[in-house]
Structure 1
Amino acid sequence: MAVIVDIKTFAALGAGVIGSGWVARALANGLDVLAWDPAPGAEKKLRENVANAWPALERVGLKPGASPARLRFVDTIEACVADADFIQESAPEREELKLALHEQISRAAKPDAIIGSSTSGLLPTDFYTRALHPERCVVGHPFNPVYLLPLVEVLGGERTAPESVDAAIAIYRSLGMRPLRVRKEVPGFIADRLLEALWREALHLVNDGVATTGEIDDAIRFGAGLRWSFMGTFLTYTLAGGEEGMRHFMQQFGPALALPWTKLVAPALTGELIERVVAGTAEQVGSRSIKSLERYRDDCITSVLAAIDGAKARHGLRFED
């Protein structure tokens, strides 16, 4: 099966936070971008989101030809995908909606174009069942902000050709991303399952009056979060075991796993809990706008990425390490 790997035209269906992020990343990589979203005012919001992201993309480095002017917003799905070399759908997480969308996308797309979905948990075998060419349909699940964070989880469904997964990985890598091949179809894939466990515990701590939203965020950003930016959980715990490494860590701290520290079942989302979380985050945001916080976040991410790249170079490590 022939598929396109060297892409020139990127199609984005859905122009919300994630879709806008894909558009910004594709434009920064010097591609022509076609975008479609049926929501009122979608084009205006999309162009505003790209403009807000562009300073951060300039800091990390633009590819030759990169320009927001290469974005064209169109009125139909067919106009969006017909000439695209690669297609990324970022519609809301409703299976019936994705079933209908991908049936339409698959019929209008070029026969050698890979079709990706940004879904964060729906399984490709389920929502690609009505696609004309399920063999070239994959999931490419990114992380916000898509235009800066490199991770993208990639997997296929039961009828996806292995060559399509390989091609998608190559395409995402060409966009400066770090593709993570998900070995099995499981709800939530890998990263969101880990984040969901942390999110549940955070809600329990707020619900039980142990800490405010700001205090919980401080516990992450001044502790484990600093390590997580360059070293994951398993390697971090390997170092915690000293010279004997992970074996000693497991022997020393493994028994603590039996202690009732965590509550893996989510708390009931009562009105009181929702209001407590909303009030806490409103205090954290203060008088700052969301767009200004996005720019602050992007500045921090680009600074962290640059610092990690510099440290890797000094230690003889590669981007993939």
Structure 2
Amino acid sequence: MDTAITRVAVVGTGVIGASWTAYFLAHGLDVDATDPSPGAEARLFEAVAQHWPTLQRFGLAEGASMERLRFHATLEDAVRDADFVQENGPERLDFKIDLFRRMDVAAQPHAILASSSSGLAISGVQSGCAHPARVVLGHPFNPPHLIPLVEVIGGTATSPATIERTMAFYAAIGKRPIHVKREVKGHIANRLQAALWREAFHLVDQGVASVADIDAAIAHGPGLRWAVMGPFMNLHLSGGAGGIAHVLAHLGGPIEDWWKDLGAPTMTPELKQQVAEGVAAELGQRHTSELEAARDILLLNLIRAKAASGTLE
């Protein structure tokens, strides 16, 4: 672990912030948290306690303890002693500009200020800071206490040193950071998801398949391979001895034809209702909490198996 980063501040302790908090604690860090919402402190401690058994199954770092969490009433108190700040506030540029300006004033000069924003460009977020070089985007994939991916993106004023330190810190605590080299809406993973969602909604809208069948097509088909390897490596394996060059030589044309036929649905009230009703039918008598618990166990086992394999890291 980056020895210079031993205390983390978590700003905003909703679903993402609470998950980050539990993860940081599990890796032996001190955490100072803050959130202005009524009842936020109680909800945070409850969420951390709920995540803790799963994190224990992963294996806790030496010194890891829920007792190392402190909640503060003010933003300034929370970030004052932090080496690294993970912000998880509302997705509003005006809000984040002011929030980061305040954190920039209150935090120690060496502290990195990272945002979990899923869609905003960090160049805009850092625009009100006197020291924008230390502001970076560190976008996790939900839930952060389980999923390793973190997308690291610098703004126009972010220093290369900040990118390097941020990447090193996330890697040291078990994350799989990737450096997104240019700011784009939705970053990388959410853009890829959005492409799949667009066609899924289109297929429902066109009456091609039910919501349940589309879910099954992914969960029991390509989704299994995608959980092991990414799209390009899977495509490479599909080519046998000839690899991806063989696949593209023979399927490049058909893939282009499929692209041209993909839909561009509109989120009409009717389509939203159709999808919601389809999800309700697929759920049946099962509760969302049951699915979440089952998903988390499977994710835990999958991540463990990938780590044990060595070749799939």
Aligned to 2:181: 183
3-state SS of 1:129 partner: helix
Q: Measured at CA, do residues 10 and 285 of structure 1 come closer, stay the same or move farther in structure 2, by a change above 3 Å?
A: farther
Q: Are residues 1:138 and 2:120 paired?
A: no
User: How big is the shift at 1:264?
Assistant: 5.8
TM-score by length of 2: 0.94
**Where do residues 165-314 of structure 1 align in structure 2 (5 Å cutoff)?**
165-260=163-258, 266-312=264-310
Instruction: Write the letter of the residue equivalent to 2:14.
Output: G
Q: d(CA) in 1 for partners of 2:180 and 2:270?
A: 37
Q: d(CA) in 1 for partners of 2:165 and 2:140?
A: 17
Instruction: Write the letter of the residue equivalent to 1:236.
Output: N
Q: d(CA) in 2 for partners of 1:19 and 1:68?
A: 15
Instruction: Write the letter of the residue equivalent to 1:145.
Output: P
8 Å CA contact retained: 2:21, 2:31 = yes
1:122 to 115, 120, 123: 120
**Identical aligned residues as a percent:** 46
Q: d(CA) in 1 for partners of 2:95 and 2:286?
A: 35
Higher relative contact order (CA 8 A, sep 6+): 1
Instruction: Write the letter of the residue equivalent to 1:168.
Output: T
User: How big is the shift at 1:68?
Assistant: 1.9
Q: d(CA) in 2 for partners of 1:291 and 1:73?
A: 27
Q: Measured at CA, do residues 260 and 304 of structure 1 come closer, stay the same or move farther in structure 2, by a change above 3 Å?
A: closer
Instruction: Write the letter of the residue equivalent to 1:292.
Output: E
User: How big is the shift at 1:48?
Assistant: 2.4
Q: Measured at CA, do residues 292 and 15 of structure 1 come closer, stay the same or move farther in structure 2, by a change above 3 Å?
A: farther
User: How big is the shift at 1:45?
Assistant: 2.3
2:16 to 18, 43, 48: 18
Q: d(CA) in 1 for partners of 2:289 and 2:67?
A: 21
Q: d(CA) in 2 for partners of 1:286 and 1:40?
A: 34
- Deviation string 1:142-166 (CA, Å, 9 cap, x unpaired) is 0011011111010111111100010
User: How big is the shift at 1:257?
Assistant: 2.7
Aligned to 2:58: 60
Q: d(CA) in 2 for partners of 1:156 and 1:24?
A: 25
3-state SS of 1:128 partner: helix
8 Å CA contact retained: 2:202, 2:263 = no
User: How big is the shift at 1:233?
Assistant: 0.8
Q: Measured at CA, do residues 252 and 27 of structure 1 come closer, stay the same or move farther in structure 2, by a change above 3 Å?
A: same
Q: d(CA) in 2 for partners of 1:134 and 1:210?
A: 49
Q: In the comparison of the two structures, how many residue pairs are matched?
A: 312
Structure 1: which 5+ runs fail to align?
Answer: none
Cα RMSD after superposing both structures: 1.8
Aligned to 1:37: 35
Structure 2: which 5+ runs fail to align?
Answer: none
User: How big is the shift at 1:262?
Assistant: 6.1
Instruction: Write the letter of the residue equivalent to 1:157.
Output: G
Q: d(CA) in 2 for partners of 1:214 and 1:80?
A: 45
Q: d(CA) in 2 for partners of 1:300 and 1:6?
A: 34
Q: Are residues 1:153 and 2:141 paired?
A: no
Q: d(CA) in 1 for partners of 2:263 and 2:95?
A: 29
3-state SS of 1:84 partner: coil
Q: d(CA) in 1 for partners of 2:52 and 2:228?
A: 25
- Deviation string 1:222-254 (CA, Å, 9 cap, x unpaired) is 111111122111111111112111111001110
Instruction: Write the letter of the residue equivalent to 2:85.
Output: I
Q: d(CA) in 1 for partners of 2:172 and 2:198?
A: 35
